[in-house]
Each structure stands twice: as structure tokens, then as C-alpha cells.
Amino acid sequence: MKLTSAQVHQVLDQFEGEVIPSDSPSVPELEATFGPHTFFVATEGLHLVERSESTNSKKHPAYVVRVAGWWDDEKTSLLPLDPEVVVAVDLSADGRPDPAV
């Protein structure tokens, strides 16, 4: 999912990583591989955020999901992985889901 600027800040408050700017030359290739998302890079690799599909949660948390790991020690190449949930994040200041997303 593509995140708003406010949502990016909320994710970064709950997950240690860096956002890849949407104008980065790597984004078109990442989107071709993983779909339209806001991407984050961290020590473990490449991450994106997905909303929970659970109807049991009032907060409908989102999840930071690792989709690629570093191929080399220099962290210059990524290897796609089976998606792995890293952490649940709340994308709304008041705990309600953002209806615009």
C-alpha cells in the first residue's frame, strides 16, 4: 500500500528503518516486482506495509512485511523472500482505521 507522509512517520515511530523516496530510481523496479507500495529499507532488507484483512480487530492494524533480504554483506543487492511479518503498526493517531487508505 502507498502511505501518506503522516503514515510514513507513524511507521517510522514503530519500526527502525528508512523510507525509500518515491522519486528514487529504484522504485519503478521495486513496484514491478512487489506492486505499488511505500518501501522501507532496514538492516534486515526491504520492507513494505500491508493492512490487516482481519475483521476481528477494531484498530485494523497494518503490518510491516519483509519481502527481500540482502544478497551481500555490502547491502547493495536484494534477494526476494517469502513475505514475513516483522511488526504490527497502528497507522492512525486515534486508533481508528484511516478511511482514505
Q: Convert the pLDDT of each residue in 8-67 to its tens digit.
A: 999 999 999 999 999 999 999 999 999 999 999 999 999 999 988 765 555 668 999 999
For every residue of 41-61, DSSP letters joined together read EETTEEEEEEE---SS-SS--
Domain residue limits, the chain: 5-89
Task: Specify the pTM.
Answer: 0.83
CB-count exposure of residue 92 (10 Å: 0-12, 13-18, 19+): middle
- For residue 56, how far is the Cα from the chain centroid? 22
For 78-92, the pLDDT digits (tens) are 999 999 999 999 887
